[in-house]
Copies of this chain bind each other. A is one copy, B any other.
Amino acid sequence: MKILWVFAHPEPQSLNGSLRDEGIHELRALGHEVRESDLYAMNWKPVVDAGDFHRETIGADRLLVGAEQERAYSSAELTDDITAEQDKIAWADALVFQFPLWWFAPPAILKGWFDRVLVQGFAFGLQDAAGRTLRYGDGGLAGKRAMVITSVGARESGFGPRGVHGQLDEVLFPVLHGTFWYTGMQPLPPYVVYGADRLDAAGYGERAAALRERLRTLPDTEPLPYRHEHGGDYDDALVLHPEIAPTRTGIAAHRSPAPGH
């Protein structure tokens, strides 16, 4: 496979830096092609602003961000740094996003990669022959796989089904469902290093081995079972039909139960 590894940590000598090095080495040893976007090393600009569209100043004309992103994409007028990332995504069969979990979300430098790169016309906003907008399971990035690798200081129990921090896949819903699945990518279960601040050498070895195993199975790991927007579960107002998971509300309602459950 062709794999794009997006890395968002300021310190190459960190736990994340070591896991990144091991992970990319493992993927290459398995015969995959790997390209990398090391956002700190690239000095990635995370802020959407008029400069993305070669506009000198803000406020001269009113800037409509979404519309301007779509226009600039379709007329090939986005800045080169954005276009280079879109080319890497188009090339890739799978994307890996590695970051420390700060405030229960990706660091700003990665959030700004989503904000600036995944523009309408490229990642979403496409339509099928019937004029339906393609989202959630389909879209500009359909067919690609996407995996989060993240580290947290807290213990695993706190991110479990009843842990105080919230169940991890639900905390990451804006990324896994709202970004990956929205654009058509298949979100794989996140790989998480818990207790990252207290990991000793043995603990590191165990987590690195587990990561290598996850990377070996990257091509065929079962994605999270989110529901397709056009799969029949949602009505025209984008609300679940009453007979679908009738007792469930909130984020949990958007995972379809595994067969037999």
Question: Which of A11, A40, A118, A171 is packed against the most chain B CB atoms within 10 Å?
Answer: A11
| A102 beta carbon closer than 8 Å to chain B | yes
| A131 beta carbon closer than 8 Å to chain B | no
Q: Which of these, B58, B103, B107, contacts A178 with CB under 8 Å?
A: B103
| A25 beta carbon closer than 8 Å to chain B | no
Flag if A104 contacts B179 (CB, 8 Å): yes
Q: Kindly state the separation between the CA atoms of A14 and B115 in the bound complex, as whole angstroms.
A: 18
Q: Kindly state the separation between the CA atoms of A239 and B173 in the bound complex, as whole angstroms.
A: 20
Flag if B250 contacts A251 (CB, 8 Å): yes
A251 smallest CB distance to B (angstroms): 5
| A143 beta carbon closer than 8 Å to chain B | no
Copies in the complex: 2
| A221 beta carbon closer than 8 Å to chain B | no
Q: Kindly state the separation between the CA atoms of A70 and B102 in the bound complex, as whole angstroms.
A: 15
Q: Kindly state the separation between the CA atoms of A141 and B135 in the bound complex, as whole angstroms.
A: 39
| 23 residue pairs from A and B, CB less than 8 Å apart | A11-B65, A12-B58, A12-B59, A13-B59, A14-B64, A46-B112, A66-B197, A102-B114, A105-B178, A106-B111, A108-B109, A112-B112, A158-B237, A160-B239, A162-B249, A162-B253, A164-B227, A164-B229, A164-B254, A166-B178, A167-B250, A170-B173, A249-B252
Q: Kindly state the separation between the CA atoms of A178 and B166 in the bound complex, as whole angstroms.
A: 9
| A153 beta carbon closer than 8 Å to chain B | yes
| Interface residues in chain A, defined as those with a beta carbon under 8 Å from any beta carbon in chain B | 10-14, 40, 46-50, 58-59, 62-66, 100, 102-109, 111-112, 114-115, 118, 136, 153-155, 157-158, 160-167, 170-171, 173-175, 177-179, 197, 227, 229, 234, 237-240, 248-254
Q: Kindly state the separation between the CA atoms of A234 and B160 in the bound complex, as whole angstroms.
A: 13
Q: Kindly state the separation between the CA atoms of A164 and B230 in the bound complex, as whole angstroms.
A: 11
A3 smallest CB distance to B (angstroms): 22
Q: Given A58-B10, A103-B178, A173-B170, A161 and B65 touching (CB < 8 A)?
A: no
Q: Kindly state the separation between the CA atoms of A11 and B53 in the bound complex, as whole angstroms.
A: 14
A145 smallest CB distance to B (angstroms): 19
Flag if A161 contacts B103 (CB, 8 Å): no
